Amino acid sequence: MPRSIRWRILLGVVLCVGLLNALLSIKGYVDARHETEELFDARLAQSARLLSGLLHEQLDAKALRRLQQALQTAPHAASTDEEQEPEALVTGHHYETKLAFWWLDSQGQVRLQSHNAPAALPLTPGYAVTESAGRRWRSFSLATASGGWVVVAERDDVRGELAQKIAARNLLPDALGLPLIALLVGWLVTWGLRPLAQLIAAIGRRHPQDLTALPLPHDAPQEIAPLTQAINSLLAQLQAQRCRESRFIADAAHELRTPLAVLAVHAENAQQATTVEERMQSLTALQRGVARATRLASQLLALARLEGEASVAPCDLASLARHVSAELIPLALQRGQSVSLDCPEHVPLQGAQEDLELLLQNLLANALSYSPEQGQIELRLALQPTEVVLTVDDSGPGIAPAQRQSMFKRFMRGEQGQGAGLGLAIALRAVERHGGQIRLTDSPLGGLRVWVSLPRL
């Protein structure tokens, strides 16, 4: 099958037209054969009745001879009788040689017959088929009033030949017209696909950096509009992706510049230290700086990954919560903080497991970071008929109501925050990808409560 749409349409139309013409020709041949059969059968019966009315047994030999001569179909079969009519020598249509007749008297004797009549005589009333000398004859037999028979016969190939000629004459214009149809359809397809070719040319002329929407002409065909809209949608997504990449690069360059500069200072101080104590202090500070830079890079990468489409699959949010809590317990123990988890055995959810894990990690890490030593962090999961509600409470200083909405912006830190200010931005993006909601309220523990609602899809 050709890959070109033009050739597919052209080939399909030509094949359909050719097949339709073939079927119509076959039907035409069958109908023509049937009609010629009916016509010839009627003519046989009419000829037999006409001969029956003209012939009678009182005809003398001379009258029979003159009648025989008049019914000859070729000059060489004519008699030399002096009373022969000149018109009997005139050759008629060549189909006459394929017609025959007999006249038998009441005694069964042949009184008159055509020169090409077959030997077999079907003397049964009505129509019959006779085989003679390798030929099939269609005959009509009629009993006369005197007890004799008139039989008129016709070779079967006359009928088939006539039907074939009728079908051939009907098929010839179709066969000659098929190439013209192909040329016309080819031109129409080319003309019809011209808007698509113009769209392809417009895209081909574009610079790779040009992601603006394609213009849609007011006279564009209906089929082109959805394609143009789909391309424009894709261009918009690419533009948004490019903006996200540019923003990520700018954010990474801006946020990593200071930690990397601090690391360079600590490394230089360690090199220039004159005592072991000064060198150890610089190395310790360098180690903390590397940890902060590593966390910042991880959060930036996580935020960039959350810009794409989520891959949703069945998961257990309760299992994820237990796993994330267990990972952060050592950090809480270092500061004497307590972490409690209250959730059912299983919390089934349709979601992206990696995104939900990032959500839990950042919410718990923020709570641990802002809670004081000996503080409390509580994580709860509750199953509702249509949603899953997740809350994280801490005993930290909390956030003033006027500042809570702005805390979801990137690189926004609380007054005592030591992180990069990406935790809540990551949490917001993870919740939005699941079609959920997130908000900040006061916690019964005195600090901040993060309330998250995720639909149970």
Phi, psi of 76 (to 5 degrees): -70, -15
Q: What is the predicted pLDDT for the residue at 409?
A: 78
| Of residues 161, 159, 73, the one with CA closest to residue 117 | 73
Assign 80 a pLDDT band (cuts: 50, 70, 90).
very low
For residue 303, is pLDDT > 80? no
- What pLDDT is recorded for position 75? 42
| Average pLDDT for 310-324 | 86
Q: What's the first-to-final CA gap in the chain, in angstroms?
A: 43
pLDDT at site 390: 93
Picking from 40-49, 88-97, 177-186, which range would have the lowest pLDDT averaged per residue?
88-97
Spatial contact of 456 and 350, defined as CB atoms under 8 Å apart: yes
| Residue 20 clears pLDDT 70, i.e. is over it | yes
Structural domain boundaries of the chain?
5-173, 207-305, 312-455
Kindly indicate the confidence band of residue 56, based on its pLDDT and cuts at 50, 70 and 90: low
pLDDT at 254: 57
The pLDDT of residue 179 is 82
d(CA 424, CA 439): 10
Q: What angle do CA 14, 16, 21 make, to 5 degrees?
A: 95
- What is the model's pLDDT at position 415? 54
pLDDT of 449 reads 92
Domain spanning 312-455, CATH architecture:
2-Layer Sandwich (3.30)
378 versus 289: which is more confidently predicted? 378
Q: What is the pLDDT of residue 175?
A: 73
